[in-house]
Amino acid sequence: MRDLLKATIPNLTDEACDKFVAYYDLLADWNTRMNLTAITEPEEVVKKHFYDSLAALPYLKDGAKIADVGTGAGFPAIPLLIMNPTLKITLVDSLQKRITFLGEVLKTLGLSAECVHARAEDFGRDPKVRGQFDATVSRAVASLPVLLELTVPLLKVGGKAYCYKGDVSEELKTAKSALHLLHCTAETVPLASDYGARTLVICTKNAPTPSTYPRKAGLPSKKPL
């Protein structure tokens, strides 16, 4: 595992390597009791979960306030935090069991982050957090129009939503209306990958989000903008 990690992740310190090994062990153990991930083979976990999660790392400034919306078993937030522990990350998921797992991961790895059990639609309407984040990161949560409604309200004006995607050409067309209504612009960065097309869609929030968004829980996916 250590050789695999060092060969796959550039600039990996021994301390970060130990944390990835501990994270892998916890994932493998808890995955026998709850549904965390279908990917369990070490090489696939390292490439498809750990390395893939690091795509936004070069863009995140030290100390940035970040929300991982729909974090699941902690992707991309935990690998980002292992590589840069100065990040102030809030992990959001609507499944309590996954939030419990993440609490155990943070404790074992000696990392600090906030874990929130909430629907992103409700979290985004909470005045304590709305408009407070420098960035959001999200992977495998929803189509781009839906994901933008779940994440953009959390951002400061000028903040960026980093959306981890595969081939995004069709999704970008369907996201035009959401980008317009949420006052965002998008750029795409193709990512190096052994496992098919990977793209980082970076959406910049250019003006405050209208108070109508996010709509009530379930509506963003039922009726995408």
Told to check if 139 binds ligand SAM by CB under 6 A, we report yes
Residue type, 62: D
Edge-to-edge strand order for the sheet containing 184-191? 114-117, 88-93, 65-69, 133-139, 155-165, 198-205, 184-191
CB 89 within 8 A of CB 80: yes
List the one residue from 25, 63, 126, 140 that touches ligand SAM (CB under 6 A): 140
Options 16-24, 27-35, 82-90, 133-141: segment touching ligand SAM (CB under 6 A): 133-141
Instruction: Please report, as residue ranges, which positions from 27 to 86 form the binding site for ligand SAM (by CB under 6 A).
Output: 70-73, 75
List the one residue from 82, 89, 113, 120 that touches ligand SAM (CB under 6 A): 120
CB 162 within 8 A of CB 200: yes
Told to check if 178 binds ligand SAM by CB under 6 A, we report no
The least CB distance from residue 125 to ligand SAM, in Å, is 12
Rounded Cα distance, 215 and 128, in Å: 18
Site residues (vs ligand SAM, CB under 6 A): 70-73, 75, 92-95, 98, 119-121, 139-141, 150
